[in-house]
A = this chain, B = another copy of it.
Amino acid sequence: MARKRITPGKIRLTEVAKLAGVSPITASRFFRNPEALSIGKRARVESAAKELGYVPNLAARALASQRTEVIGVLIPSLTNNVFADVLRGIYDALDGSRYSIQLANTRYSILQEERLLRLFLAQKPAGLIVTGINQTADSRHIMESVDCPIVQIMELGSAPVDMMIGFSHFDAGKAAIAHLLDQGYRRIGFLGARMDPRVQRRLDGYRSAMTDAGLFDERLIVTTAVPTSMTLGGALFADLLAKAPDIEAVFCVNDDLALGALFECKRRHMVVPDQMAIVGFNDLEFMASSVPTLTSVRTNRYEMGRNAAMMVLETLAGRRPAESVVDLGFSVIERQSSTRRG
């Protein structure tokens, strides 16, 4: 006959209950909902747990209760500073709560995203935070069928799976160009790398603003699927100058490209902003301390992560946020690199 897999020294809930002189179920309740116990038992269980150094077994809890305290987070990149900030917000919001994070990297692939989504389901997550609004049809079905709060972050769209927090990349791109137009620049180039859906929408914003101003010219646009970097910013800027030597300004879809372009200007002894205006995107910390300082579109990445996590938390606590779609906006931070022409 089968053996007893007895583990002699181990402290389980039963041991705590025994020491406290209550039933296991009462001890269990202490850890999940202390208010349900009378003051006396509460104290007894508490001290018993402390004395024994009890650590709850999460697997047993998950199995018995059919749910976990894990919030799945799907982001496209670990390298990108933008997501580092978002993540920091998420981690900060969850700090001290009983929820923990399961992070997965989609590498900008929606197929990979779908695969990871399925993987997450095996764990019955308490909540889900996913990046963007461009999921595969299957991913959408999966998310719609899962019974847990889901927040889509980074951008906005008309059909949230559940909740959503972000800003309009189209409007942000448009606003960057509006600023340059406002400063008197006319021949405004566009530099884009990686070209994920959000960058694409910034390009749409650029296109719209330039077309409205009657200034659109296909030759002003240089993009690549290659991941972004400062070095790439310099290279793309060089390409742009070759295609359109008469450009007066350049809008870069992120700050790395912008700083790369700035250095490329230096290399060519072009003075910024006199001979070339530069606008970046995200407003990373270094934009304020370069020489000259660089104009950028500030996005609220930390807040986005933080709020997304809080929305999940609130929903789990039964207090569903009033607004299921939150627009965090953006702002064009005007600096030396794009001051008025002439």
Contacts and interface: CB of A to CB of B under 8 A. Distances in A.
Interface in A254-279: 256, 259-260, 263, 266-267
A259 B229 CA distance: 15
Shortest beta-carbon contacts, A-B, top 6: A59-B62, A266-B291, A230-B286, A231-B289, A59-B63, A263-B291
Contact of A122 (B58, B68, B121, B288): B58
A87 B78 contact: yes
Contacts of A63: 57, 59-60, 63
Interface of chain A, main secondary structure? helix
Contacts of A39: none
B84 A79 contact: yes
A103 B70 CA distance: 12
Most chain-B Cβ atoms within 10 A of its Cβ — which of A56, A59, A118, A260?
Answer: A59
Contact of A79 (B88, B102, B234, B290): B88
Give the number of times this chain occurs in the complex, counting copies: 2
A85 interface: yes
A25 to B, nearest CB: 12
Interface of A: 55-60, 62-63, 68, 78-79, 81, 84-85, 87-88, 91, 100-105, 118-119, 121-124, 229-231, 233-234, 256, 259-260, 263, 266-267, 285-286, 288-291
B55 A121 contact: yes
B122 A55 contact: yes
Given A56-B122, A122-B55, A289 B102 contact: no
A118 B259 CA distance: 43
A233 B285 CA distance: 12
Contact of A91 (B62, B78, B231, B288): B78
A290 B263 CA distance: 6
A155 B256 CA distance: 29
A79 B68 contact: no
A272 to B, nearest CB: 12
A259 B286 contact: yes
Contacts of A58: 62, 122-123
Given A58-B122, A78-B84, 11 more contacts: A55-B121, A58-B62, A58-B123, A59-B68, A91-B105, A229-B289, A230-B289, A230-B290, A231-B288, A260-B289, A263-B290
Contact of A57 (B85, B104, B122, B233): B122
B84 A88 contact: no
A291 B265 CA distance: 10
A263 B234 contact: no
A231 B285 contact: yes
